[in-house]
């Protein structure tokens, strides 16, 4: 089953991620979560993904490239091939206390 999640920063920056839970299963997520010492819950982990995109977009013009290409340690390739696809990302003015994550579909 596919679900979309919208992450938003301060009402300005938005990213939509689609997760196919038949491919990116709970077991697959557990492997990703276990990589991190804090073992984040799913929405916290999506927040970590969003922070990478925000960070990368500050450093370059393509904030999602490293995740789509699978170059971020601890995260699967996010081009749809492993069940996660970053559908969209819009620019921002950054303050990490303003991130909001909610299921949209």
- Residue 65: pLDDT band (50, 70, 90) is confident
- Asked if the model's pLDDT at residue 19 lies above 70, the reply is yes
pTM of the prediction? 0.77
The rounded distance, in Å, linking the Cα atoms of 18 and 103 is: 10
**Full domain range(s) for residue 14:** 2-103
Ranges 21-30, 37-46, 93-102: which has the least confidence = 93-102
Q: Residues near 9 by Cβ (< 8 Å), separated by ≥ 6?
A: 50, 54, 92, 94, 95, 98, 99, 100
Question: How many structural domains compose the chain?
Answer: 1
């Amino acid at each position: 089953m596919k679900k979309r999640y919208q992450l938003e920063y301060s009402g300005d920056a938005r990213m939509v991620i689609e997760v196919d839970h038949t491919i990116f299963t709970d077991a697959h997520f557990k492997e990703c979560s276990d990589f991190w010492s804090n073992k984040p819950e799913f929405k916290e982990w999506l927040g970590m993904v969003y922070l990478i995109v925000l960070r990368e977009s500050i450093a370059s013009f393509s904030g999602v490239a490293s995740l789509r290409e699978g170059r971020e340690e601890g995260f699967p390739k996010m081009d749809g091939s492993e069940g996660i696809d970053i559908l969209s990302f819009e620019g921002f003015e950054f303050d990490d206390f303003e991130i909001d994550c909610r299921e949209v579909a």
